[in-house]
Amino acid sequence: MAHKADSITMQVLRNAMEQAADEMGRTLVRTARSTIIKETEDMTCSIFDRYGNTIAQAHHAPMLLTGFELGMRALVRKYKPEDLDEGDLIMFNDPYSGGQHVMDMVTFAPAHYNGRLVGFTGSIAHHSDMGGAVPGGTAGGLTEIYLEGLRFPMVKLYKQGQEDPELFGILENNIRVPDKTLGDVRAQASADFVGVQRLQDIFEKYGVDVVSKCQEMLLDYSESRIRAGLRKLPDGTFSGIDWIDDDGYTDEPIKLQVNIHKRDDEVVVDFEGTAKQVKGNINCPIATVHAAVYYALIAVVDPHVPPNSGCYRPFRVEAEEGLIVNPRMPAAMGARTNTSQKIAEAMMLALSKVAPDRVQAGCHGQITNCGFSGYHPKTGKRFVLIDIQGGGAGARPTKDGRDGQDSHLARFKNTPIEAIELEYPVRILRYDFIPDSGGAGKYRGGLAVRRDFEILTDDVSLARYGDRQRFGAFGLFGGKEGSKGKFVLNPETTDESPLKSKGLDILNKGDVVSLRLPGAGGYGDPLERDLDLLLQDVRDGKVSLDSAREDYRVVIDPGTLQVDEKATKKLRKG
């Protein structure tokens, strides 16, 4: 049967390539060694055309998906088609060359059909360790990129299907957990090569001309949908501001400002008003900046558009070199998510002025990344546990925020207690929601979570970065802000003490670290909240009686858990 390039075939091929990208992701998760990939799923995969345009993306982390763009552009500039053989695998992790941070290894594999380069497959995954000053590279306050770990330019890790033993030797010689990291690298290679096979199958079935034409049509289709969505929004300049607590090196708050200039069917986003780059490692590479901007715009303009490079054509990002959103060498960037999350938050705040029914209130707006490392008392082997925590998701125009969820850009899963305790000498003592942490509103902000780790061996390093411990998540249209986060060492004991949100400490057997994440902001006037929803929150333990009274001006009888209408009326009157 002869196929032709039409709108129906375009959609069939779109879904075939998205399925291939998802299969790549499942391959990576199921063959990885580290919990950060196989449980948290801090990874993603994509398929590209021969020019480096993103055609299909797996349903994983948006931050990593759109973060492929600049790296792929750099790859097609560096390698001519004749330089790439079947079975090659290029890797890099340099934030100054289109990468994210050094812990996120990017790999690309060229796809050939009948001896001709027809596309690429790619994966990104967060690795347990890349060497550097601290295990896992997660400590806040590192002051140079050189301290964060091995930083690779684009190099061929596999050549014609064979591992390069010298590069693998460099990796093995410089990381603390080589069995985990090298296993994860090989899992990425497996995922990319599976994608190549599936892409070759598609070209075999439909032919090079039809597939190539449908790819062009798909890019144009996504672009046209974004432009149509933009034309429905008013023109103008709209700004949003959020704050990063500190850079982990000093205690100074750091301003993040976005300015959205919308004209007809195009948008320019600049960062005038944003702080200069800082010494600590919250600086954000330009690839992640693009990802955060694209994510917010697509979410508001057309969240169901096929996500590919065509979506980005109407957008332009302008970031002056030397800002925290486009730092100069050798600025450190390991904790960039503290900044990228604030970009998405500030974008939502700015867009609330033109599309109030399509945005959400402030989220936890950070990613708490903890690296526990030491020697396992049973095996004597080095371990590095990377655990990522989210918080509350922002309230929406018609719904409450999601409790205990990751939100912007990441979409990570939580690491199950059983998976952690099975591999590492720690015990999870508590894992629960924090009452009253979601901002009050007509729709309540999502609740934050608390996770307490007990350390079961001596001399364990805790490297970490988090945020929103000084500036709570904003509410919208009368909604109140979410609770602030905090980290506590040995809570509810005589040895209780606060821990900085970004830093490095040494823990011993019996120490307990309590991670209390930020809550999210509410949407709308709390006095307009449906009383049945409020009662359900009180009965579920999500909102206390005191908060019902203070934030919602509703009196609830503690015995019957019913609204005291007379007392409520009196309270609201004055």
Cis previous bond, 306, omega within 30: no
Q: The tokens of 570 are what?
A: 């009196």
Q: Which residues have CB under 8 Å from 523's CB, separation 6+? A: 360, 361, 394, 395, 396, 397, 441, 442, 443, 445, 475, 476, 477, 479
Q: How are beta strands 449-455 and 426-433 bridged, if at all? A: antiparallel
What is the distance in angstroms between the CA of the first residue and the CA of the last residue of the chain?
Answer: 77
Phi then psi dihedrals of residue 247, to 5 deg: -105, 5
**HSE-up of residue 237 (Cα within 13 Å, Cβ side):** 8
Q: How far, in Å, CA of 237 to CA of 178, rounded?
A: 50
Name every residue whose Cβ is closer than 8 Å to that of residue 540 and which is 6 or more positions away in sequence.
Answer: none
Find residue 387's DSSP bridge partners.
370
Residue-by-residue DSSP string for 458-475: SSEEEEEE---SSSPPPP
| Residue 2 confidence (pLDDT) | 79
CB count in 10 Å sphere of residue 315: 19
User: Residue 542 — φ and ψ, nearest 5°?
Assistant: -85, -30
Q: Which pTM was predicted?
A: 0.95
SS3 159: strand
Looking at residue 476, what is its pLDDT? Answer: 98
The three-class DSSP label of residue 161 is: coil
Give the Cα separation of 170 and 540 in Å (integer): 53
Q: Which helix (H) or strand (E) holds 73?
A: helix 68-78
Which ranges of 95-239 would DSSP assign to H, the alpha helix?
165-174, 178-206, 208-231
How high is the pLDDT of residue 67?
Answer: 63
Provide the token pair at 166. Answer: 């010298």
* CA–CA dist 482, 485 (Å, integer): 9
Residues 424-455: tens digit of each pLDDT: 999 999 999 999 999 999 999 999 999 999 99
Between CA 525 and CA 522 the distance in angstroms is 8
User: From CA 113, how far away is CA 103, in angstroms rounded?
Assistant: 33
pLDDT value for 409 = 78
Element spanning 292, H or E: helix 286-301
pLDDT at 511: 98
Collapsed DSSP state (helix, strand, coil) of residue 237: strand
pLDDT at 327: 98
Q: What is the dihedral of CA 376, 248, 295, 20, to 10 degrees?
A: -20
pLDDT of residue 66: 63
Q: Which helix (H) or strand (E) holds 516?
A: strand 512-516
Q: Can you spell out the DSSP letters for 304-326?
A: TS--SGGGGTTEEEE--TTBTTS
The amino acid present at 503, given as its one-letter code, is: G
Question: pLDDT of the chain along its 574 residues, tens only?
Answer: 678 999 999 999 999 999 999 999 999 999 999 999 999 999 999 999 999 999 999 888 766 656 678 889 999 999 999 999 999 999 999 999 999 899 999 999 999 999 999 999 999 999 999 999 998 888 888 999 999 999 999 999 999 999 999 999 999 999 999 999 999 999 999 999 999 999 999 999 999 999 999 999 999 999 999 999 999 999 999 999 999 999 999 999 999 999 999 999 999 999 999 999 999 999 999 999 999 999 999 999 999 999 999 999 999 999 999 999 999 999 999 999 999 999 999 999 999 999 999 999 999 999 899 999 999 999 999 999 999 988 899 999 999 999 998 778 777 888 999 999 999 999 999 999 999 999 999 999 999 999 999 999 999 999 999 999 999 999 999 999 999 999 999 999 999 999 999 999 999 999 999 999 999 999 999 999 999 999 999 999 999 999 999 999 999 999 999 999 999 999 999 7
